[in-house]
Structure 1
Amino acid sequence: MIKRAILFFIIAIAVSSCENDIDAVMELDSKKAATENGQDIVIIFSQGGKVNAKLMGPTMERGLDKPTYVAFNNGLKVFMYNDSLGLESTLSAKKGKFMEDDGDVFLSDSVIVINKKGERLDTKELNWDPKRKIFYSTKEVFIKTPTDSLHGWGLEANQDFSEKKILKVSGPITVQDSTAALN
């Protein structure tokens, strides 16, 4: 009889100690439900019926809590096209994050941009401001063209990278002779 009373007492203690706080459970459940995940992502961007870009990534996470975001934590590649679907440039990075509310894009870790002229930008971090329609960085940048190699810190460039400015240039710079074309 004593054994049964002890067993009953142990079971009662175990059952009463397994109480869950309903608020904690709801908070945990809401955090888990506040993200969407996807694999083998392909997104086509178009405007006015014309394709502007194609984004591909192995995984995507979308956070639904404010501020909402879309993150590519395992890499992404973007192909940017002109009006006749000609490839203008490609962009790749190991990580990317798009803030849905303001449209800002943050790219990091081995960011590479190559435009149709064969110019290549390498940097650790690149940001896109859709309101100003520019790419910018405060990190170290390397630009390689068919004729030059440029190095520095900080960058501003237009959306198709046809115009770009290194904010703090470092190393030798080759200046072409502007009078050579006149002779």
Structure 2
Amino acid sequence: MLMIATSCGNSDAEIDAYNKKSLGIEEIKNADINYTIGGKPKAKLTSPIMLRVQQSNPYVEFPKTLHVDFFNEKGEVDSRLDARYGKYFEQESKVFLKDSVRVINTLGDTLYCNELWWDRNRTGREFYTDKPVRIRKKMEVTDGTGMEAAQDFKNWVILNPSKGIMKIPASEFPDN
């Protein structure tokens, strides 16, 4: 009895490239996207990699960090957002952010959390989460679970605060 076995193989890079093509994935490196309404800047997003996935519910993924500057009516930066991962659901106009999410407003107030939704349909409450959060103001820190905030991060509420507000000397805060 004679048996002959043959095989062939593709590299991981070739398989990944094929899968991206067959799934309808567009990849953009060093993405720099400006969002405007009526010609006025509203936000500027930058990310080292952006993947647009075309399927029945298309989405855009930012697998290796993203940064967003939000602008006020005068075109000035109102707040900044950073996260290690983001996923924009196009049909819902919602962005899911996770892993070291941080939002800073012009007053220096800073939100820290691990998961955050940014929903452009929720006017005045664009940011929200049901997960643990920490908000640092100049001389105090507030922890809790669940939060809603305006996109400029000037108006926010922690839904379930824990232990109230902690007063912290400025010398104990790290520099931004």
Same fold (TM over 0.5): yes
* Corresponding residue for residue 61 of structure 1: 51
* Corresponding residue for residue 171 of structure 2: none
* Corresponding residue for residue 90 of structure 2: 100
Larger % of strand: which? 2
Q: Is 1:157 matched up with 2:157? A: no
Q: Which runs of 5+ in 1 are unaligned?
A: 1-8, 19-27, 176-183
Q: Which runs of 5+ in 2 are unaligned?
A: 9-17, 168-176
Larger radius of gyration: 1
By relative contact order (CA 8 Å, sep 6+), the higher-ranking structure is 2
Instruction: State whether residues 20 and 26 of structure 2, in contact with CA within 8 Å, keep that contact through their aligned partners in structure 1.
Output: no
- Mapped to 2, the partners of 1:85 and 1:130 lie a distance apart of 18
* Corresponding residue for residue 11 of structure 2: none
TM-score, normalization by structure 2: 0.80
TM-score, normalization by structure 1: 0.77
- Mapped to 2, the partners of 1:30 and 1:70 lie a distance apart of 13
CA-based RMSD of the aligned residues comes to 2.5
- Mapped to 2, the partners of 1:73 and 1:30 lie a distance apart of 15
| 1:143-177 residue CA offsets vs partner (Å, 9 max, x unmatched) | 000121100111011221111111111124269xx
* Corresponding residue for residue 136 of structure 1: 128
Q: What displacement does 1:10 show?
A: 7.8
Aligned counterparts, 1:67-106, within 5 A: 67-106=57-96
- Mapped to 1, the partners of 2:3 and 2:112 lie a distance apart of 65
- Mapped to 2, the partners of 1:148 and 1:89 lie a distance apart of 19
User: What amino acid maps onto 1:125 in structure 2?
Assistant: E
Larger % of helix: which? 1
Percent sequence identity over matched residues?
38
